[in-house]
Structure 1
C-alpha cells in the first residue's frame, strides 16, 4: 500500500513519495524493511527548498 502514492516527479531518483493529509504533506521513503517518514510539513511551505536544499 505504500506504493499507492507516486514518487516526486522532480526528484524520482531520491525515492521520496508524498501523501496529502488535510493541510499537511507527508514525505516518506520505502525501504526493504519499513516505511521511513522523512518530514511532515504544512502544505503552504516550500517543500522543495526544505527537502532538497542544495540538490
Structure 2
C-alpha cells in the first residue's frame, strides 16, 4: 500500500482549518471536521485513482471533502498531498 506524504503547504493548511473551525464553530466541530478530512485522505491509499485529474495540472488529482478540495499526486510508492484548499479560494494559485 502506498504511503502518504504531506507537502508543507498541505500540513500547514490542515492546521489552519482546525484553528479556524475551532474559533468559528467550537472544538468539537473542529475535531470532527479535521478527522473527516484525515480519514478521507487516508482512504486514498486504497483507491488513489478514484478521483479525476485536474485538467490544468498534469498528474494532480482532486478530491472534494466538505468545503475543501484536496489536491494530490500518485506515484508507485506514495500519495503526495499537495495542498488542501477551501472551495471559495483560487486553487490555481495554490496548487
- The two structures have a TM-score, normalised by structure 1, of 0.81
Structure with more strand by fraction? 1
Structure with more helix by fraction? 2
Mark the structure with the bigger radius of gyration: 2
Paired residues for 1:1-55 under 5 Å: 1-11=47-57, 14-51=58-95
- Tell me which of the two structures has the higher relative contact order, counting C-alpha pairs closer than 8 angstroms and 6 or more residues apart: 2
Unaligned runs of 5+ in 2: 1-46
Alpha-carbon shift at residue 31 of structure 1 (Å): 1.0
Question: In the comparison of the two structures, how many residue pairs are matched?
Answer: 49
CA distance in 2, matches of 1:50, 1:41: 8
Unaligned runs of 5+ in 1: none
- The two structures have a TM-score, normalised by structure 2, of 0.49
